[in-house]
Structure 1
Amino acid sequence: MHRTVRPVTRGRRALRQLSPGRFASTSTSTSTAPPPPPPPRSRSAKWGRRAVIAGGVGLGFYVYDKQFNASAVTRSLRTGYIGLLCTLDYKINFAPSKADQIEALHERVANRLRWVIDTNQGLYLKLGQALGLQAALLPKPYKEAFGHVFDRAPAVSYDEVIGVFQKDLSMSPLDLFATFSEEPLASASIAQVHQATLKPYAGGEGEPGRTVAVKVQKPAIVKQMEWDLFSYRSLTWLAEKLFDMPMYFVAKYVSSQMRLETSFKNEANNARRCAELISQTPELKDDVYVPRVFGEAEGCKESDRIMVMEWVDGCRLNDRKQIEEWKLNLREVMDLAISTMSAMTFSWGFVHCDPHPGNIMVRPHPTKKGKPQIILIDHGLYIELPREFREDYCTLWRSLFVLDVPKIETIARKWGIALDANMFASAILLRPFQVNKHKKGGRKDQVPEKTQYEQQVELKQRMKTMLENEQLIPRELIFLTRCQRMMQANNQLLGSPSSRVNLTAKWASIGYTRSLTGSRSLRTVGAWRWIRDRFDAFLFRFTLGIVDLAFWFTLQKQRFLPKDKGGWEDKLQKQFEAMAREEFGIEIDDTVFLG
């Protein structure tokens, strides 16, 4: 009895193991074996599947970034890759044992940086210019790499221009203008310029439609800007760690100026303010012109990415052939340009910081026959000079010409710059200048020739010593030095017709006496200070007179001795480079600013 029950029990257990609604015969359940487990995947197959998934995700991200984010992340990753590659290259190959390969190392790194700028375009051209500010003190391959950053940038299509109008103004160009050129007349890193005609009502009551220049920002800039600025700051930080030199301290200041440059409302305000300041400066009034900016009052909608300006015909400042065809005096042209920049620096404290030849135009004066008129355009990059810094800068220039060595050294220390007085003076003036006499000796005979590695290590140490306190260095000095070099280059391109240093010094004196100091009467400052002021004024005029006389002799030599090539600025530049090389060990070749 007991044995007859067991099969039934096993059968019930087997039934309970079946899922509800499923029925199987006893013979089937007992005769069918479970399916064999799948063979284990090989390690290579697993990695292959992961690679396919990763590749698909990466491709999807790349397409999204390109189509909807203007490749902002891709550009940053590209920059990060090159930065890492350059870092490793330097860490491995910048060594005493490879001193003969240093030049090749610099060339590799410079070419990679140039490739990043050329590939990314956009704001990277502006960032390349910012890096170019420091290129004059870097090895030769870097100067060559940044020498193209002032060239023409590629334009965007008309469809993209329409997209900017639709997004910012909810209308197309032809809704606002009677005519609008589909092809741009000029293209730069941030924007491009189209020619248009205002509708009859837009020019003001009773004024017919007129030709205008319409500046349109490239649509990718707004998406790329913060990523690009982050990449710039990261590269500067990396360069500081790599070279062990203070470089990052300017990054935040440059970044903030770049942001302002991409706002066309800010640029319009700068243009209007500049025009107002010119009208208040007797020496420049009527001879320097800022094209009118059209806003809401003239029927033109304003936007951060669209700006409408008066169309003005003229030639570039360096177009010597056209200027001479108009029978304009080259010295008068260049004097006006230098005086304008000097007035901005020493009198206004409001400085146009991009004075390359394309942004300073020339035309025959509309009311003064035979005279030139300077036209200032592209007002995106301006800096404000704090009153204390402007007073120090004016005092410095004036002190250089009255040989007030203690004052020069005091200002240098105040700015955290540890240079001897001669080199500091020459760096400010961009010409050789001695305020202290050095003992001349045979330095080259006493010091054995050094390898490139030793020279660059020594230069790095000197630069660190020179910038002894980076927190004290006025950030404005970075842009002012760049402006001075650009104006020197503009003068060189026209054959050095203007005595740049003297004219700038005169404006420094005007700023010093007109707007920065209080009353200098005998009663106010006392007898000794009053006498010293008069003596300094005499010494200042005497020094300027001597330099003017030397300048005049150079001009006559150029006129009567054609074989004597090179103008006044060329000679000063060569002397300055020689002085930097012999006294400070720095090779300066900043021909990048001649572009």
Structure 2
Amino acid sequence: MIRPKQISLFGIPRTARSTIRIRFNSSSATPPKPRSRGTKWAQRGAITAGIITGLWVCDDKLNASAVTRSLKTAYIGLLCTLDYKINFSPSKADQIEALHERVASRLKWVIDTNQGLYLKLGQALGLQAALLPKPYREAFGHVFDRAPAVSYDEVIGVFQKDLSINPLDVFQTFSEEPLASASIAQVHKATLHPKIGGEGKVVAVKVQKPAIEKQMEWDLFSYRALMWVSEKLFDMPNCLLTSMPNSAKYVSSQMRLETSFRNEANNARRCSELLAQTPELRDDVYVPKVYGEAEGCIESDRIMVMEWVDGCRLNDRQQLEKWNLDLRETMDLAISTMSAMTFSWGFIHCDPHPGNILVRPHPTKKGKPQIVLIDHGLYISLPREFREDYCTLWRSLFVLDVPKIETIARKWGIALDANMFASAILLRPFQVNKGKKQKEKVPEKSQYEQQVELKERMKKMLENEQLIPRELIFLTRCQRMMQANNQLLGSPSSRVNLTARWASTGYTNSLTGSRSLNSVGISTWLKDRLDAFIFKCTLGIVDLVFWFTLKKQRFLPKEKGGWEDKLQKQFEAMAKEEFGIEIDDTVFLG
């Protein structure tokens, strides 16, 4: 019998390999000592820390810390959610104030740390802080302050990335230090080349901060996620959280538009065109010229060039008096401008804080003021049907047409009695229903009970959230800002009456067809005349009371507060009595 040959591997016969293995096993060499569990965990920890550090560095250098910012937000959101779920209960009613303080402090930390779009989102929340507990009002009060600026090197980087040029390639001069800095952008002063705007034409160059482009989608995703969690876990109407139905998506879309300077330039041009078509305002309200590609200048989504205009803030009473400009004329112009946008144009500047409405002595009318509108990033357009309803509502309030007021409220999904609805629209106490309520004495409630009851009442009031026009919230915000501007100047203007007159004009223009006796019949014709009479009488009475208040202020120095201050106090008292809401909106006065 023939035995098979021994198979070799790497040239070593099988028998030889067995011998080697035996000799190795029987040698005196000791095998390697196994690692301890602690050593393994230390090595794993070091590897994990290295990976996290590497990711953090990449996120910081390449992605403007967008992921890190979102993780901070997620952490704070989870912490606040757990805190409320655990500690907002009847058994801890005496600790509710401390709970609000903790949560407000955390939200403030996120906004202050992340900056950028978080300041914009913080401003959106801050403008609703009037309805929130005191700790939130204090936490969000700072978000309207000046934002930190970025370096000149970063500004050059934006020019190079968007246009492949340096600032001095297109401008004769360009200030390295910004003259103003906001959450999204900063403004530099420059002069145009003669071929563009004439010799030494001074312009304002608005440059977006470079991190915004990388952070925007992450920040907006974090915002939408927080709103969704808040709505689902706490059973709060979405419009109460961020002031409008489907608000998270709507705010996100508005933020995207606001970061597009091409969109802002188009808004400014359209506003200027509409002013030119409004005889009452076109000489007294000015929109600085935008220099773009059509003028042989530069433009991009992150760079905008505008005419430089010197002026003071709308609320700078000292400077206005120094220029000998009449405060009432100045404020009347500002209110008329916002009213024309609302009731005539249907195209509204939605950020009318004092820094965006400048005043200067009129270039051609000696001793008269001229309003200058800047920062056109946030506009809304009103659908025709809504604008007609809004005009009708304002006019109906002054002719005491209660059925019409209630019809519009129901159409907008708001279950509110006519008196409270009217007061909320006008931002002043207003009675259209004269029926008196019997006041019942109720036992004092804990903070927990008050806040639970408030939530339920607000949910009931907003009986069909999806019907609430999102434009209504922006309009109310604009009205409150203009009321605050009036307050800061000592309430020289009769805001409600002036707005009502523009609303009446808008109502008349919205009517289709003839309103003659032959066209509408005797009944409708007589009602039109009666409504017009009541409207004029109501305005006359309010004007008389307003005049009396101004005289009282003038001749009684001890009398503190102007017309708007008194209206605001009465409105706050009404809100507390009707809803238990303690309104404190001093944030609008900043």
Letter in 1 for 2:529: R
Are 2:112 and 1:121 equivalent residues in the alignment? no
Deviation of 1:276 after TM superposition, in Å, equals: 0.7
Deviation of 1:130 after TM superposition, in Å, equals: 1.6
Deviation of 1:44 after TM superposition, in Å, equals: 3.1
Q: Take 2:566 and 2:34, find their aligned partners in 1: how far apart are those partners?
A: 80
2:568 aligned partner = 573
Query: 5, 13, 33: which one pairs with 2:25?
Result: 33
2:392 aligned partner = 395
Q: Take 1:272 and 1:331, find their aligned partners in 2: how far apart are those partners?
A: 28
Are 2:403 and 1:406 equivalent residues in the alignment? yes
Q: Take 1:25 and 1:217, find their aligned partners in 2: how far apart are those partners?
A: 74
2:282 aligned partner = 285
DSSP-derived class of the 1:383 partner: strand
Are 2:445 and 1:450 equivalent residues in the alignment? yes
Are 2:500 and 1:508 equivalent residues in the alignment? no
Deviation of 1:48 after TM superposition, in Å, equals: 2.5
2:170 aligned partner = 176
Q: Take 1:112 and 1:517, find their aligned partners in 2: how far apart are those partners?
A: 54
Does the 8 A contact of 1:201 with 1:209 survive in 2?
Answer: no
Are 2:463 and 1:477 equivalent residues in the alignment? no
- For normalisation by structure 2, the TM-score amounts to 0.95
Instruction: Say which one has the larger Rg.
Output: 1
Are 2:536 and 1:541 equivalent residues in the alignment? yes
Letter in 2 for 1:281: T
Unaligned 5+ runs, structure 2: 240-245
Deviation of 1:149 after TM superposition, in Å, equals: 1.5
Letter in 2 for 1:570: D
Q: Take 2:24 and 2:494, find their aligned partners in 1: how far apart are those partners?
A: 106
Q: Take 1:473 and 1:212, find their aligned partners in 2: how far apart are those partners?
A: 42
Unaligned 5+ runs, structure 1: none
Report matched runs for 1:129-528 at 5 Å: 129-203=123-197, 207-247=198-238, 249-443=246-440, 446-528=441-523
Q: Take 1:25 and 1:479, find their aligned partners in 2: how far apart are those partners?
A: 87
Does the 8 A contact of 1:202 with 1:209 survive in 2?
Answer: no
Which stretch shows the higher mean deviation, 251-260 or 166-175? 251-260
Letter in 1 for 2:128: Q
Does the 8 A contact of 1:245 with 1:463 survive in 2?
Answer: no
DSSP-derived class of the 1:215 partner: strand
Letter in 2 for 1:33: N
Does the 8 A contact of 2:127 with 2:588 survive in 1?
Answer: no
DSSP-derived class of the 1:471 partner: helix
Q: Take 1:25 and 1:254, find their aligned partners in 2: how far apart are those partners?
A: 76
Deviation of 1:497 after TM superposition, in Å, equals: 0.5
1:590 aligned partner = 585
Q: Deviations over 1:7-43 (max 9, x none)?
A: xx99x96xx5764269979987654326655444333
- For normalisation by structure 1, the TM-score amounts to 0.94
Letter in 1 for 2:374: I
Letter in 2 for 1:531: L
The 1:25–1:234 alpha-carbon spacing in structure 2 relative to 1, beyond 3 Å, is closer
The 1:364–1:28 alpha-carbon spacing in structure 2 relative to 1, beyond 3 Å, is closer
DSSP-derived class of the 1:583 partner: helix
1:53 aligned partner = 47
Letter in 2 for 1:513: T
Letter in 1 for 2:37: R
DSSP-derived class of the 1:216 partner: strand
Q: Deviations over 1:216-270 (max 9, x none)?
A: 0111111111111111111111222243211262111111111111111110010
Does the 8 A contact of 1:315 with 1:322 survive in 2?
Answer: yes
The 1:195–1:27 alpha-carbon spacing in structure 2 relative to 1, beyond 3 Å, is closer
Letter in 1 for 2:225: S
Q: Take 1:451 and 1:28, find their aligned partners in 2: how far apart are those partners?
A: 87
The 1:368–1:25 alpha-carbon spacing in structure 2 relative to 1, beyond 3 Å, is closer
Q: Take 2:311 and 2:136, find their aligned partners in 1: how far apart are those partners?
A: 34
Q: Take 1:472 and 1:136, find their aligned partners in 2: how far apart are those partners?
A: 24
The 1:29–1:103 alpha-carbon spacing in structure 2 relative to 1, beyond 3 Å, is closer
Does the 8 A contact of 1:347 with 1:515 survive in 2?
Answer: no
Q: How well do the aligned residues superpose, as a CA RMSD in angstroms? A: 2.0
Report matched runs for 1:14-29 at 5 Å: 19-20=10-11
2:243 aligned partner = none
Q: Take 1:171 and 1:30, find their aligned partners in 2: how far apart are those partners?
A: 76
Give the number of equivalent residue pairs: 581
Does the 8 A contact of 1:214 with 1:306 survive in 2?
Answer: yes
Q: Take 1:27 and 1:357, find their aligned partners in 2: how far apart are those partners?
A: 95
Which stretch shows the higher mean deviation, 277-286 or 237-246? 237-246
DSSP-derived class of the 2:466 partner: coil
